[in-house]
A = this chain, B = another copy of it.
């Protein structure tokens, strides 16, 4: 009976984690499906009315986005306001031991799921990774209650719940990108301070279960001949992906991404604080809070209108889909007909990429991709920040990822223009702007989130490891720079929201081992000797009005420290000997 009991309880852990993985895979799959259909519906509607009148199509385009955004905001507002925003900062707080119970209820779960589906369906520049971490954590917490029985609290154990929540976070990230390894590492980096290595396997196990089911579901739904593929599979040749001569450029991308990432975090914080502190904004949020999402959604969606400004920034594609285009193997700015061009002479793209270069060159190939890419980045840099201030569930990771990829692609195309035949004389060593896009995406994300493991996520997303060296170099440099300039976006939000948090443990850099007392001691030292006169004592306490205790030395000659005397004691002593009372007492005695 005892053996079976042990077996049962051991298995329970495994079953719990497997269940967590499976549930999250199903939820993720279902939501992906709904989001994709909502986004496609907008395109269909748009295509349908485009022939009638351009103004009507603008109205439909903007109306659709505003409608979904408002629906999402209303949902989040009336069901559970805890669903608003990313969720990672809150999970970080919870995993550090603060109890925020209302963040882990079924009500929050429902609000977050439906809200997220609506807000992402609108096509605004938002991500789903933060909300997914939140959703997975709620599922883990609720499942924990179910599997480990009863809400009576008798079997509850803080460490244990924290472990399960951590597994939840890992599954959340892993689901978003179907990146089981990177997801686990990312969630550790983002939420933990000290990590218990013995719990390492939990996250991996749950994430692997989730990835397995997710791919099975995808196989049956797409019914493609391709069984298993990465989210944004790239097709770089594994041997000659880059030359070592290009490494300094990748390092430079890391440097710039570090600076841009810090700027992103800084501007995000200033924007949010402005909206919170400005009296007009405050009033608006309290009384007519629904106006804000309407205004912002209208603004963002009209900017991205494909017939309008959208044509300068790849507006035909939904924001999150542009990623695939940035990672394309072909070179956007290569001359038509060149071997690496996206539009070769027979009208197809080189290397079999399914990609319409018109998205980035305009319908008549009139614009340079340099201009559209620069527009895209500048505009979405601010739009992503604006979108993240909306009162709907939204993540920050994906927009940052896309922005980084756009920046990398821009640099890569520039380098290609400088070295159209590659840096080496041999054939097959062309500059590949797609590699630069991958590097840029990883570096910018690394800078904003202060994580190294984003590199692993990128490898799993692209399904290729040949970009390992450039990505690692750029991510590390971006990280180093960003962490000296700004907190991570999640820590920044924790401070904005005044969530309780433990201060960071400072790095044990050599700094502390180099500092000496003489650098901050007060000189000259004021001290009192056993043979000091009362005048000396008085002068000492008057010369240093802020010092609360004085060192006491054996004699003025030896200066050997024997102890310390507090100011108040000295004061009392002096008062007793030469103060008003003392003098009065002395006086009466003489009478």
Are A198 and B193 in touch, CB under 8 angstroms? yes
Are A472 and B204 in touch, CB under 8 angstroms? yes
Residues 159 to 190 of chain A near chain B (Cβ within 8 Å): 159-160, 163, 180-181, 185, 188-189
Give the Cβ gap from A472 to chain B, nearest Cβ, in Å.
Answer: 4
Number of copies: 2
Residues 476 to 526 of chain A near chain B (Cβ within 8 Å): 476, 479-480, 504-505, 507-511, 513-514
Q: What CA separation (Å) do A225 and B422 show in the bound complex?
A: 14
Q: Which residue of B lies closest to A188 (CB)?
A: B197
The stretch of A6-14, A330-338, A345-353, A541-549 in contact with B is A6-14
Residues 191 to 244 of chain A near chain B (Cβ within 8 Å): 192-201, 204-205, 208, 211-212, 215-216, 219, 225-230, 233, 238-244
Are B204 and A452 in touch, CB under 8 angstroms? yes
Q: Does A281 contact B (CB under 8 A)?
A: no
Q: What CA separation (Å) do A481 and B157 show in the bound complex?
A: 26
A contact residues, total (Cβ < 8 Å): 77
Q: Does A455 contact B (CB under 8 A)?
A: yes
Q: What CA separation (Å) do A211 and B247 show in the bound complex?
A: 13
Q: Does A299 contact B (CB under 8 A)?
A: no
Are B242 and A228 in touch, CB under 8 angstroms? yes
Q: A208-B472, A228-B241, A513-B160 are in contact. Are A197 and B195 (CB under 8 A)?
A: yes
Q: Does A456 contact B (CB under 8 A)?
A: yes
The stretch of A54-62, A68-76, A395-403, A463-471 in contact with B is A463-471
Q: Does A459 contact B (CB under 8 A)?
A: yes
Contacts of A208 in B (CB 8 A): 469, 472-473, 476
Q: Does A460 contact B (CB under 8 A)?
A: yes
Contacts of A5 in B (CB 8 A): 514
Are B193 and A480 in touch, CB under 8 angstroms? no
Contacts of A577 in B (CB 8 A): none
Q: What CA separation (Å) do A511 and B215 show in the bound complex?
A: 33
Contacts of A514 in B (CB 8 A): 5, 9, 155
Contacts of A468 in B (CB 8 A): 180-181, 211, 460
Contacts of A465 in B (CB 8 A): 230, 459-460, 463-465
Q: Does A354 contact B (CB under 8 A)?
A: no
Are A196 and B197 in touch, CB under 8 angstroms? no
Q: A13-B510, A212-B473, A228-B244 are in contact. List 11 more A-B contacts (CB 8 A).
A: A6-B511, A148-B510, A155-B510, A157-B508, A181-B472, A193-B197, A194-B195, A194-B196, A201-B476, A225-B426, A227-B243
